[in-house]
C-alpha cells in the first residue's frame, strides 16, 4: 500500500506548496510508515499525463480540490481511474468540503470525499477502519447510498510539525516574492502556526470551512520549532500563511517577547488584521517582523459594511499609518467588482493603493460555502448544479458572462485591474523605485506603455484577436518562458 497526494494545478497559479498536503503526508508516513509522495505539478513542472503515469505506481491517490481546480481534479481522477479501476481515489480540500455528497454523487471516479481536516479520515481509510466512525467522510455504503459523516474539528493545531522533505526540490529555493530586495538574500520558508478564523467576511469560505474555530500554537512551542528550522535548514525568513496570525494578540506579544529575549536573529512576515493594537505591532517589528500583509478588500465604507469586514475606512487608514510609522513593508490585498460596487467605491479603493509597497488586486469570485453564494442561491442567480456545469469557467469571477447582473465582462475587469496596477506605478514614482531599485525606470516606462496601449484598446483588441484564433495561450506560455509578461 502506498499514497500519492496531488495539488492538481498544471500551469502557474500556485506559488507555494500546499501545507495541507504536507500535513497529510507527514501524518500518514509517521503513523503507518508507508511510502507517500506529494506532487505539485505546477511547481515541479509535471504535465497532466506525467501525473497520470506517476499515479500508476500508487494504490491510493489523494487529490486536493479547490473551486478553481474542480474540473482539473475531476479530469485527473477520471484519467487515473480509467488507467486502473482498482485505484482508491480520495478527494479533500475547500471545494469538496463545501459541496460534500453532491460531489461524490456526480463523479463516480471519486471513491471518497473527506470534508475539513483530512488526517483522521485518511488514516482510517488506509487502515481499513469502520467508515461510519471517520470524521467528515463522505462515502458510498454497500447499497451504493451516499453517507455523509459529521465533521469533527480537532482543537489541536496540525499544521506546524510538517516534513518539508516531501517537496525538498521546491522548498530548497522557495522565495516569498512580495518582500523587499534585501530579504531575498535569506533562505525563505512557508510556515503556518494557527488555523481557522473567527470572522465572517461574506466573500470568504473560511467561516464555513473552519466552523469559526480558531486554533493556535503555544508561543514557546512555536519559537522552539522556528529555532529548529533555523538551525537545521538555515532559514532566515519565515512567511507565515496563517489565516489570521494576530487573532490572539496576547499570545502574539508573548511570542515576540520570547524571540527578543532569546536574541534570535530572524525575519518573518505575518498577515495582520486592521485594528491590530499598536503595542502588538511594535513588538512584532522588534522581533524581526519586517513585512505585514492585510486584507483591506475595499476602501469604501459602504462596501466594507456590506461584505462584513467589520472595520471602517478610518480604521484601515489608522492601521496603515501605524505600520508606516513603524517602518513595516506593507502588502495590501484588495478585491474589485463586488456586487453593488460602483466607480466611486473603486476610486476610494484606488486611493488607498499609494500607501502600500505591494498590491494584490483580485477580481471578486464566488465560492461555495460563502454568504454571497447563499444569497445568490436564495435570489435564484445560482443553483448547486453551477459547480458541476462545464460551460462555466473554473474561475468563478463575478463577471457578465456568468452573472448577467454584473457590471463588467471578464476582459473588461481584467483590463481595469491591469490599468490600476499601471496607474499606481506611475503615480507613485518613489514607491516604484523603492520596490524595483534600479529596475524602477524600466518598470515605469513599461507601465506607461502598457497603460497607453490598454487605454487606446490596442492591447485589449490584440489580445481578443489572438484568443479567438487560439494563439493567446501558446504566446503566453512562450512569453512566460522568456520571463516577459505584457498582460
Ligand atoms: C493560507 C491560505 C492560502 C495560502 C496557502 C498556504 C499553503 N501553502 O498551504 C495561499 C496564499 C498560497 C493560498 C492560495 C490559494 N488559495 Co487560499 N487560503 C488560505 C487560508 C487563509 C487558510 C488555509 C488553511 O488553513 N490551510 C491550513 C491547511 C493545514 O489546511 P488545508 O490546506 O485546507 O488542508 C487541510 C484540509 O483542507 C484537507 N485537505 C486538503 N487537501 C486535501 C486532499 C486530500 C486528499 C484530503 C483527504 C484532505 C485534504 O486536509 C488538510 C489537512 O487537514 C484559507 C481561508 C481560511 N481561513 O481557511 C484560504 C482558502 C482556502 N484559499 C482559497 C483560494 C481560492 C485560494 C487560491 C485558489 C487563490 C488564488 N486564486 O490564487 C489559491 C490556491 C492555492 C492552491 N490550491 O495551491 C479559498 C478556497 C475556496 C475554494 N472553495 O476553493 C479559501 C477558503 C479562502 C476564500 N477565498 O474563501 N491560500
Ligand atoms: S477574509 Fe480573512 S478575516 Fe475574513 S473570514 Fe476570511 S480568513 Fe477570516
SS3 of the chain: CEEEEECCCCCCCCCCCCHHHHHHHHHHHHHHCCEEEEECHHHHCCCHHHHHHHHCCCCEEEEECCCCCHHHHHHHHHHHHHHCCCCEEEEECHHHHHHCHHHHHHCCCCCEEECCCCHHHHHHHHHCCCHHHCCCEEEECCCCCEEECCCCCCCCCCCCCCCHHHHHHHHCCCCCCCCCHHHHHCCEEEECCEECCCCCCCCCCHHHHHCCCCEECCHHHHHHHHHHHHHHHCCCEEEECCCCCCCCHHHHHHHHHHHHHCCCCCEEEEECCCCCCHHHHHHHHHHCEEEEEEEEECCCHHHHHHCCCCCCHHHHHHHHHHHHHHCCEEEEEEEECCCCCCHHHHHHHHHHHCCCCEEEEEECECCCCCHHHHHHHHCCCCCHHHHHCCCCCCCCECCCCCCCCCCCCHHHHHHHHHHHHHHHHHHCHHHHHHHHHHHHHHHHHHHHHHHHHHHCCHHHHHHHHHHHCCCHHHHHHHHHHCCCCCC
**The ligand 1 atom nearest the CA atom of 42:** 78
For the Cβ of 72 lying below 6 angstroms from any atom of ligand 1, the answer is: no
**The ligand 1 atom nearest the CA atom of 15:** 12
What pTM does this model have?
0.93
Q: How far is CA 229 from CA 191, 253, 257, 289, in A?
A: 10, 21, 19, 17
For the Cβ of 237 lying below 6 angstroms from any atom of ligand 2, the answer is: no
For the Cβ of 293 lying below 6 angstroms from any atom of ligand 2, the answer is: no
Instruction: Give the torsion sign (CA, 168, 169, 171, 172).
Output: positive
Mean pLDDT by 10 residues, the chain (487 residues): 97 90 98 98 96 98 97 97 96 97 96 96 98 97 96 89 96 94 95 94 94 92 98 97 93 98 98 96 98 97 96 97 96 97 95 92 97 95 93 95 94 90 80 71 81 79 81 75 50
Angle at 480 between CA 237 and CA 429, to 5 degrees: 65
Residues 6+ apart with CB under 8 A from 431: 354, 357, 424, 425
| Closest protein CA for atom 64 of ligand 1 | 66
pLDDT of residue 486: 45
Taking the centre of ligand 2 as the mean of its atom positions, its distance from the CA of residue 204, in whole angstroms, is 6
Question: In 3D, which of 293, 310, 292, 291 has the Cα closest to residue 301?
Answer: 310
Distance, in Å, from the CA atom of 272 to the CA atom of 323, rounded to the nearest integer, reads: 10
For the Cβ of 205 lying below 6 angstroms from any atom of ligand 1, the answer is: yes
pLDDT of residue 480: 62
For the Cβ of 117 lying below 6 angstroms from any atom of ligand 1, the answer is: yes
Taking the centre of ligand 2 as the mean of its atom positions, its distance from the CA of residue 207, in whole angstroms, is 8
Question: Would you state the cell numbers that stand for residue 112, as one nine-digit string?
Answer: 471518497
For the Cβ of 122 lying below 6 angstroms from any atom of ligand 1, the answer is: yes
Taking the centre of ligand 2 as the mean of its atom positions, its distance from the CA of residue 129, in whole angstroms, is 35
CB 353 within 8 A of CB 332: yes
Strands 237-240 and 329-336: unpaired
For the Cβ of 135 lying below 6 angstroms from any atom of ligand 2, the answer is: no
**The ligand 2 atom nearest the CA atom of 273:** 3
For helices 458-468 and 472-481, give the axis angle rounded to 10 degrees: 110
Domain assignments of the chain as residue spans, ordered by start: 2-148, 175-364, 409-487
Give the number of the ligand closest to the Cα of residue 111. Answer: 1
**The ligand 2 atom nearest the CA atom of 198:** 8
| Closest protein CA for atom 19 of ligand 1 | 243
Q: From 3.20.20.70, 3.90.550.50, 3.30.1120.10, 3.40.50.1970, which CATH number describes the 175-364 domain? A: 3.20.20.70
For the Cβ of 62 lying below 6 angstroms from any atom of ligand 2, the answer is: no
Give the number of the ligand closest to the Cα of residue 333. Answer: 2
For the Cβ of 58 lying below 6 angstroms from any atom of ligand 2, the answer is: no
Taking the centre of ligand 2 as the mean of its atom positions, its distance from the CA of residue 283, in whole angstroms, is 23
Query: Distance of alpha carbon 283 from its chain centroid, rounded?
Result: 27
Give the chain's length: 487
Give the number of the ligand closest to the Cα of residue 362. Answer: 1
CB 332 within 8 A of CB 356: yes
CB 351 within 8 A of CB 299: yes
Phi/psi for 402 (5° steps) reads: -100, -35
> Best mutation site among 244, 315, 362 for ligand 2, i.e. most ligand atoms within 8 A of its Cβ?
244
Fold of 2-148: Rossmann fold (3.40.50)
For the Cβ of 160 lying below 6 angstroms from any atom of ligand 1, the answer is: no
For the Cβ of 194 lying below 6 angstroms from any atom of ligand 1, the answer is: no
End-to-end CA distance of the chain: 46
Beta bridge partners of 62: 5, 90
pLDDT of residue 481: 62
| Closest protein CA for atom 91 of ligand 1 | 241
CB 237 within 8 A of CB 186: yes
pLDDT of residue 442: 79
**The ligand 1 atom nearest the CA atom of 17:** 8
Question: Would you state the cell numbers that stand for residue 30, as one nine-digit string?
Answer: 509517521
Strands 137-140 and 358-363: unpaired
**The ligand 2 atom nearest the CA atom of 204:** 6
Beta bridge partners of 191: 240
For the Cβ of 24 lying below 6 angstroms from any atom of ligand 1, the answer is: yes
Residues 6+ apart with CB under 8 A from 215: 154, 155, 156, 157, 194, 195, 196
pLDDT of residue 482: 57
Amino acid at each position: 500500500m502506498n499514497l500519492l497526494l496531488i495539488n492538481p494545478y498544471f500551469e502557474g497559479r500556485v506559488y507555494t506548496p500546499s501545507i495541507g498536503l504536507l500535513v497529510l503526508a507527514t501524518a500518514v508516513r509517521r503513523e503507518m510508515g508507508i511510502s507517500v509522495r506529494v506532487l505539485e505539478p505546477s511547481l515541479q513542472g509535471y504535465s497532466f499525463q506525467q501525473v497520470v503515469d506517476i499515479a500508476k505506481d500508487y494504490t491510493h491517490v489523494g487529490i486536493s480540490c479547490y473551486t478553481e481546480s474542480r474540473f482539473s481534479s475531476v479530469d485527473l481522477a477520471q484519467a487515473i481511474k480509467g488507467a486502473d479501476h482498482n485505484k482508491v481515489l480520495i478527494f479533500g480540500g475547500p471545494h469538496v468540503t463545501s459541496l460534500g455528497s453532491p460531489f461524490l454523487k456526480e463523479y463516480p471516479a471519486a471513491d471518497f470525499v473527506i470534508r475539513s481536516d483530512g488526517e483522521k479520515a485518511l488514516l482510517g481509510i488506509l487502515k481499513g477502519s469502520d467508515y461510519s466512525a471517520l470524521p467528515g467522510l463522505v462515502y458510498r455504503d454497500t447499497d451504493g447510498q451516499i453517507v455523509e459523516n459529521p465533521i469533527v474539528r480537532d482543537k489541536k493545531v496540525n499544521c506546524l510539525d510538517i516534513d518539508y522533505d516531501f517537496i525538498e526540490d521546491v522548498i530548497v529555493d522557495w522565495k516569498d516574492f512580495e518582500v523587499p530586495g534585501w530579504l531575498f538574500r535569506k533562505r525563505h520558508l512557508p510556515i503556518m502556526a494557527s488555523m481557522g478564523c473567527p470572522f465572517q467576511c461574506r466573500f470568504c469560505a473560511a467561516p464555513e470551512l473552519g466552523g469559526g474555530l480558531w486554533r493556535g500554537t503555544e508561543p514557546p512551542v512555536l519559537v522552539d520549532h522556528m529555532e529548529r528550522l533555523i538551525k537545521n535548514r538555515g532559514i532566515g525568513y519565515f512567511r507565515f500563511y496563517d489565516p489570521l496570525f494576530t487573532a490572539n494578540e496576547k499570545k502574539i506579544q508573548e511570542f515576540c517577547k520570547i524571540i527578543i529575549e532569546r536574541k534570535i536573529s530572524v525575519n518573518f512576515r505575518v498577515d495582520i488584521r486592521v485594528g491590530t493594537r499598536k503595542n502588538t505591532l511594535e513588538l512584532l517589528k522588534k522581533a524581526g517582523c519586517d513585512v505585514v500583509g492585510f486584507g483591506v478588500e475595499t476602501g469604501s465604507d459602504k462596501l466594507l459594511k456590506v461584505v462584513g469586514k467589520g472595520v471602517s475606512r478610518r480604521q484601515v487608514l489608522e492601521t496603515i499609518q501605524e505600520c508606516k510609522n513603524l517602518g513595516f513593508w506593507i502588502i495590501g490585498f484588495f478585491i474589485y467588482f463586488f456586487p453593488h460596487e460602483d466607480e466611486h467605491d473603486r476610486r476610494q479603493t484606488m486611493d488607498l493603493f499609494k500607501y502600500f509597497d505591494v498590491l494584490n488586486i483580485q477580481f471578486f469570485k464566488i465560492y461555495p460555502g460563502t454568504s454571497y453564494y447563499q444569497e445568490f442561491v436564495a435570489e435564484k442567480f445560482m443553483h448547486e448544479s453551477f459547480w458541476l456545469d462545464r460551460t462555466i469557467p473554473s474561475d468563478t469571477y463575478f463577471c457578465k458572462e456568468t452573472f448577467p447582473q454584473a457590471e463588467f465582462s471578464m476582459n473588461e475587469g481584467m483590463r481595469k485591474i491591469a490599468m490600476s496596477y499601471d496607474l499606481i506605478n506611475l503615480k507613485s514614482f518613489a514607491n516604484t523605485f523603492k520596490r524595483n531599485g534600479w529596475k524602477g525606470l524600466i518598470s515605469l516606462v513599461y507601465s506607461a506603455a502598457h497603460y497607453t496601449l490598454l487605454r487606446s484598446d490596442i492591447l485589449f483588441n490584440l489580445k481578443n484577436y489572438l484568443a479567438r484564433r487560439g494563439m493567446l495561450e501558446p504566446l503566453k506560455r512562450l512569453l512566460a518562458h522568456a520571463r516577459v509578461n505584457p498582460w
